[in-house]
Structure formats: C-alpha cells, structure tokens
Amino acid sequence: MTFIKKTLATSIAVAAASSIAISTAQAEISNGEVRIGYLADMSGTYRDLAGPGGQKALEMAVADFGGSVNGAPIVVFSADDRNSADVGANTVREWIDQRNVDMVAGLVASSVTIAVTRVLEENNGLGIVSGSAASSITNEHCTPNHIHWVYDTYPLANGTAQAVVEQGGDSWFLLTADYAFGHALEGDVRRVVEESGGEVVGGVRHPFPTSDFSSYILQAQGSGAKIVGLANAGADTVNAITTASQFGLTQSGQQLAGLLIFLNDVHALGLDATQGLLLTTGWYWDMDEEAREWSERYYAEMGRMPTMVQAGVYSSTMHYLKAVEAAGTDDPETVRAQMAEMPVEDFFARNGRIREDGRMIHDMYLAQVKTPEESTGEWDLYEILSTIPAEDAYRPLSDSQCKLVQN
C-alpha cells in the first residue's frame, strides 16, 4: 500500500510538473521574437493607399510599443505582392516555413488576401487585413486565422450608394474591376440601390489594372444612367475619373459616384475634379484631435497625410501587440481570442470590437469632398457629413455565410 501511495504521489508530481512545463512553454514567445510580415502592393496600382506608407505606419506602432513584447524583440519583414495571388501566397508560405512569421499584416488586393488567408488557415498562422475591401473575406471566405480591420464593401455600399439614391440618383451604371473586390462591391451596391428603390440599368467589368478607360466611359455615357458608379480603387479610379472628365461625362448631366475613394486619390485628382463627391470612409486624418495628432506624426515621417488603410495598419498592429503582451504568447489561436476580448477604441476606431466572423466592426463615416473655396490647405479635403454606427455599418451576423458563425 505504501508503494502504491508513493507511486501515485510521484505520478501526480510528475503530471503537475509536466502541466507547469506545458503552461510555461505556451506562455513563451516562439523563437524568442515576435515576427511580423508586412505584405502589400509596394509598386503598382495600390501603392499609394497602403504600400510603403503602410509599412511606415506599422514601424511606428512597433516603435511606440517599445520595440519588444515581454522582453522579446519585434522583427518586421516586408514584401511586394505585385497584386498577384500566387506571389502573395508563396511569400507567406515561405515566411511561415522558413522565417517563422507570427502575424501577416497589410494585405491589400482582395484576390491576394483570399489566397493568403487559405495559407494561414492551412498552417495555423494569423493575418490582419487592413487594405482589402471584399466583404466576402469575413463572409464565405472567413477563417479562424484572420481578422478584417479597416472597412469592406458592405458599408461602402450602405453609405455612399444609399445616400446617392436618396438624393435622386436612382438609375445606375456600374464600372467594375474584374476580380474579387470589384465583384463584391458591385453586388453590395446593386443590393442597396435596388432596396432603396433605384435600378442598375447596365454595367461593364474592366481588367485589373487598366490604364485606358475610353471605351468603358463611352458605354456609361450611352447607358443614360444618372449615376456612373466606380466599383474599383486606386489608380483605376483615378484613371476612370480623369477619362470621364476628358469625355465630358458630368457636363452631360451624369454624375460619378466613387464607391471606394481614398484620400490620396482626391489629392492626386484635385478638388476641381472631385468637389462634391460623396464617399464612405472608415477614418479621416482631420476628424478629431486624436486623429490629427497621430496624422501629424505620420506626416513628419512621410511628407503626406495617411489614408484610412495606413492608419488602420498602425491601429491593428498595436492591438495585436497588446494582445500578445496580455496573453504572454504569440500562439495564433490564443492571440486571436485575446484580441477579440479586448475592445478597440483608439485614434482610428470608435466603438470597435472583433466579431466571431473576424470582422472588426467600428463606426464608419459618410463624407463629401470639399470645394476649392472650402478647403483651407493641401490636405483639407473632406467634410464628414454623418456617422454610420458600427452595428449598422456592417453585414449583420444573421445574414452571414461564415462557417464560424452560429446562426
């Protein structure tokens, strides 16, 4: 009996020690470093809305956090995905296999993001999407391994398209980028226009990217639609608006609706070409004192004001690092759960939280581009017209097709 008691006591002690060892191992930072990979279009169509400026925002977050988490240095890698799903997926696979990257940030073109999140799911990685727009990323393409941070096509359509229809723009022609993002935005806009009593009378899809929009603008003019909706982004949007101006589209009584307009687009085109344009945004550098303070720091680094994507990269990186610190580990599943437990309330997000589908919901804003007379400076470009509350802005979970949501 004595032998049995000693053996049992020994077994319990060994089990307890093993449990402590496992717990300690889980609490440690893998490889002794927190490794972040920034993946974005660094040289093409989406360079200015994210690109090197997004990497700078990430580096600012790392510096502001102190450069380490619980004594573990933070290491940043970066790569140009060239807006190629294959390049993006292969880069992330190499980062995970060879460099033990803990979190992938940036992620701009939706086709790249969908390919990358599959790799993350297969390899139990973690990604935070700041640049992509397709609402499908946390709907049919959701995974337990990524979070969508800044915006998506659902609130873009709810904000801009609904406002335009309410102002009398009830017939639409949609000019759409022919890939995942454009298709998602086109679908969400069509839904909102029709639910609001309007009609989509025609449309055309253009290759991504496109430099010559002449034939597409001619088709839009021939449609007779009151509104020509641009379901594209970045340089494609700039080229489309420039071509429409050259062809006198707005002078003939039609109106352009930019469904995804970034600050850099308006700055590049100028207020003469964009004044009065309605748009929906997730953030604006001059929206309040907190936003202005961070933006002025960014401006000192980059010589230009940040887009909502670049601000979102900073915000999401800080939230991730705080979660790693709180959890005491960089284990993806543990960190994602910790991030979801923490509210998101910073210079970027108001009333933010991460839902079970991976969507970080937060207040969105309906804005209008100022006239040259209203603007008081080079970057004084928007007037915020109204706030779209977080709970109203995004797709309700009751309509979700995400496998993580229990309907």
How far, in Å, CA of 148 to CA of 316, rounded? Answer: 9
pLDDT in single tens digits along all 407 residues of the chain? 333 333 333 333 334 333 433 334 345 899 999 999 999 999 999 999 999 999 999 999 999 999 999 999 999 999 999 999 999 999 999 999 999 999 999 999 999 999 999 999 999 999 999 999 999 999 999 999 999 999 999 999 989 999 999 989 999 999 999 999 999 999 999 999 999 999 999 999 999 999 999 999 999 999 999 999 999 998 999 999 999 989 999 888 899 998 999 999 999 999 998 988 889 999 999 999 999 999 999 999 999 999 999 999 999 999 999 999 999 999 999 999 999 999 999 999 999 999 999 999 999 999 999 999 999 999 999 999 999 999 999 999 999 999 999 86
Domain residue limits at 121: 33-151+287-358
- State the DSSP string of 8-62: HHHHHHHHHHHHHHHHHHHHSPGGGSEEEEEEE-SSSTTTTTSHHHHHHHHHHHH
Is 299 found in the same domain as 258? no
In angstroms, the first-to-last Cα distance of the chain is 55
Buried b (16+ CB within 10 A) or exposed e, 17-30: eeeeeeeeeeeebe
Is 230 found in the same domain as 371? yes
Q: Does residue 7 belong to any structural domain of this protein?
A: no
Would you call the peptide bond into 209 cis, given omega within 30 degrees of 0 as the criterion?
yes
How far, in Å, CA of 282 to CA of 155, rounded? Answer: 9
Of the candidates 280, 287, 270, 292, the one whose C-alpha atom is nearest the C-alpha of residue 371 is 270
Collapsing DSSP to helix, strand or coil, 337 comes out as helix
CATH code of the domain in which 261 resides: 3.40.50.2300
Is 378 found in the same domain as 242? yes
Pairing mode, if any, of strands 360-361 and 364-369?
unpaired
C-alpha Rg value of the chain to the nearest Å: 23
pTM assigned to the model: 0.89
**Which residue(s) pair with 205 in the sheet?**
176
Of the candidates 316, 378, 320, the one whose C-alpha atom is nearest the C-alpha of residue 347 is 316
Rounded to the nearest 5 degrees, what angle is found at the Cα of 47, between the Cα atoms of 123 and 289? Answer: 95
Which residue do the tokens 């991504």 mark? 208
Is 325 found in the same domain as 373? no
> How many structural domains are present in the chain?
2
Is 176 found in the same domain as 100? no
Is 214 found in the same domain as 196? yes
Is 372 found in the same domain as 247? yes
Is 84 found in the same domain as 45? yes
Is 189 found in the same domain as 54? no
Is 51 found in the same domain as 113? yes
Residues 6+ apart with CB under 8 A from 174: 186, 189, 190, 200, 202, 203, 204, 228, 229, 231
